């Protein structure tokens, strides 16, 4: 019987490779741009028509190629980036497999024009993976690649391509990420003759150039460095979150990538400041030792893998957590008077205590200054005159957030003094069944649990008895609180992260006018008095003009 197994032809192999690497026009352009970056380009221009399905052109001012390299670059696995397998462990170039041009040429009609400094150039024409011509060509140093009729010989792939407008949107998104990764390079994108992106070589303006000034609203700069790892960039405040990850830009070793590990670490760094389904906006540049990073996980180099995942998670989480402990900046509430802080490092080891610039007369404030006008559901309407504001203003107070702010600071103060809070004995103790791992963790942190108001003791194998609870807890929520605390206890945690969980599940408290005054006074003496532990705003103030307009 004839053999059933056969060796595929080079053209079929190239088309299969193209299916993995060249998914659409955006992925094709990304591969060409990476080649341009590896060639040392300072300016890269991209022109597309019909969303890239009809025509793509990438022009760079890189080092260019000689005739032999211009022909050889269309061969599979022909690359100047590596020479042996071990080179993959220390990659610094964007491309390295030598498959891009071979794959692109296999599914399109392609022209390449290139020249090195001081030499005659070369023009190569390639259709469907076959080089038709290679002629001398005069041009300045650099390379131009033109691609037309993408997937003309792979109808099954062409059939499932997006529309021209959707494809153009994908190209814009891709180029934004690449231009953020390489801020020293100028990028231009033209679609059907219309300029969509144009950047300068001013790296400090890159975010504003490609994402707009509004992206930087309510963000802060962060920088963290440890043991060869660096992270810098901007990240949104807990008030600046989205319902999806579309405004997350992660650049590792100048590669725009996706890392679920880094995403989880950032979420952990925010802790309870944001909800589980809230996603902060950010642009983060990370530097990782090349031998600690595997970029050869995905054909399009979208995903990366870290050699020391736990170390990377802790590094990113710590960087985000520390960003919340910077010296307090000017409060964003309108017209609140507070002196600008003195210059300080981006990160300090402990929180900075906020000291008002005026003396607080407690009795006078309670009796005369703060006036509680009324309540609407869980919001209090309060009138606070100077010196807290430059003029008398009406303030809306979220009472639950105010209470959580004060409780957070009280509990933190007690714990730092080694003290616990009051607890009430349960009439019917709760039995808690846990896993073996959780049993060990609870025993280890039993004293801390008692100090934060959960009276718990061992009650047999992998079983505990909850006999008393602080008034801070609702009995029906205590299991959820313990589940979240166990997550913290299984990793490196701080007293602050534990207390945030505690106050997040406090039962609603109905405040009298006098209670509200005392809580407001206590909060105004604290660091960042207008923000709850989860980063949400506690108070918002208005004057007459903001309600009714100018007279």
The string of DSSP codes covering 296-310 is: TTSTTS-B-EESSHH
The tokens 């975010």 sit on which residue? 207
Q: What is the pLDDT of residues 318-329, one digit of tens each?
A: 999 888 765 333
Digit-by-digit pLDDT tens for the chain (551 residues) are 565 565 555 555 555 544 456 889 999 999 999 999 999 999 999 999 999 999 999 999 999 999 998 998 888 654 544 344 444 444 445 544 347 788 898 899 999 999 999 999 999 999 988 899 999 999 999 999 999 999 988 887 888 888 888 899 899 999 999 999 999 999 999 999 999 999 988 888 899 899 888 788 888 899 999 888 999 999 998 888 887 888 899 999 999 988 889 999 999 898 888 887 888 999 999 999 888 887 655 455 577 888 888 888 999 999 998 887 653 333 333 353 333 333 333 332 323 233 333 344 444 444 456 777 777 777 887 776 666 555 666 788 888 888 888 888 888 888 888 887 778 888 888 888 877 778 888 898 888 888 888 888 888 888 888 888 887 777 777 888 888 888 888 777 788 888 888 887 766 566 677 777 778 878 877 767 777 877 778 877 766 666 566 66
What is the set of domains in the chain, with CATH numbers?
Answer: 10-198 (3.30.565.10), 212-323 (3.30.230.10), 423-469+472-504 (3.30.1370.100)
Separation in Å, CA 452 to CA 274, 320, 417, 427, 502: 22, 25, 13, 20, 8
Strands (E), 257-336: 279-280, 282-287, 293-294, 305-306
Beta bridge partners of 256: 251
Q: Quick one: which H or E segment has residue 460?
A: none
Phi, psi of 534 (to 5 degrees): -85, 5
Q: pTM surpassing 0.85? A: no
List the one residue out of 252, 257, 248, 247 whose CA is nearest residue 303: 257
Residue 449's Cβ-count burial label (10 Å; 0-12, 13-18, 19+) is buried
Q: What percent of the chain has pLDDT over 90?
A: 27
CA distance 173 to 24: 13
DSSP letter at 367 equals: I
């Amino acid at each position: 019987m004839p053999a059933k197994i056969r060796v595929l032809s080079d053209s079929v192999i190239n088309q299969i490779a193209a299916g993995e690497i060249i998914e659409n026009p955006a992925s094709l352009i990304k591969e060409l741009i990476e080649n341009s970056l590896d060639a040392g380009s300072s300016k890269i221009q991209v022109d597309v028509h019909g969303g890239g399905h009809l025509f793509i052109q990438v022009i760079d001012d890189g080092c260019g190629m000689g005739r032999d390299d211009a022909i050889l670059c269309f061969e599979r696995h022909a690359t100047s980036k590596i020479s042996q397998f071990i080179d993959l462990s220390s990659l610094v170039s964007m491309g390295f497999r030598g498959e891009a041009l071979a794959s692109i040429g296999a599914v399109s009609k392609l022209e390449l024009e290139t020249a090195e400094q001081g030499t005659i150039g070369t023009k190569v024409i390639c259709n469907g993976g076959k080089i038709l011509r290679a002629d001398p060509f005069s041009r300045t140093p650099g390379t131009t690649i033109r691609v037309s009729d993408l997937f003309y010989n792979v109808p099954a792939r062409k059939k499932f391509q997006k529309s021209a407008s959707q494809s153009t949107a994908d190209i814009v998104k891709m180029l934004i990420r690449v231009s953020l990764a390489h801020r020293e390079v100028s990028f231009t994108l033209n679609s059907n003759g219309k300029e969509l992106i144009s950047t300068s070589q001013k790296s400090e303006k890159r975010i504003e150039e490609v994402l707009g000034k509004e992206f930087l609203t309510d963000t802060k700069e962060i920088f963290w460095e440890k043991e060869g790892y660096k992270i810098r960039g901007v990240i949104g405040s807990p008030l600046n979150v989205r319902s999806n990850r579309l405004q997350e830009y992660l650049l590792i070793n100048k590669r725009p990538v996706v890392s679920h590990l880094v995403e989880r670490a950032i979420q952990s760094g925010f802790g309870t400041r944001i909800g589980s389904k809230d996603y902060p906006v950010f642009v983060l540049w990370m530097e990782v030792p090349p031998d600690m990073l595997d970029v050869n996980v995905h054909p399009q180099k979208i995903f990366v893998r870290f050699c020391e995942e736990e170390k990377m998670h802790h590094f990113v989480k710590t960087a985000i957590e520390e960003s919340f402990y910077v010296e307090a900046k000017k409060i964003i509430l309108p017209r609140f008077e507070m002196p600008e802080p003195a210059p300080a490092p981006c990160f300090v080891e402990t929180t900075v205590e906020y000291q008002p610039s005026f003396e607080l007369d407690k009795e006078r404030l309670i009796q005369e200054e703060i006036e509680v006008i009324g309540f609407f559901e869980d919001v209090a309407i309060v009138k606070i005159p100077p010196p807290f504001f430059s003029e008398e203003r009406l303030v809306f107070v979220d009472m639950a957030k105010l209470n959580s702010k004060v409780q957070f600071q009280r509990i933190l103060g007690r714990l730092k003094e080694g003290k616990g809070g009051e607890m009430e004995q349960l009439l019917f103790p709760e039995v808690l069944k846990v896993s073996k791992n959780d049993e060990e963790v609870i025993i280890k942190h039993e004293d801390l649990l008692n100090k934060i108001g959960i009276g718990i003791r061992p009650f047999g194998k992998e079983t505990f008895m909850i006999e008393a609870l602080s008034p801070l807890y609702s009995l029906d929520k205590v299991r959820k609180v313990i589940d979240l605390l166990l997550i913290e206890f299984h990793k490196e945690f701080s007293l602050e992260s534990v207390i945030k969980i505690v106050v997040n599940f406090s039962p609603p408290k109905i405040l009298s006018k006098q209670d509200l005054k005392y809580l407001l006074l206590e909060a105004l003496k604290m660091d960042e008095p207008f923000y709850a532990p989860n980063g949400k705003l506690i108070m918002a103030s208005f004057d007459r003009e903001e309600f009714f307009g100018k007279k």
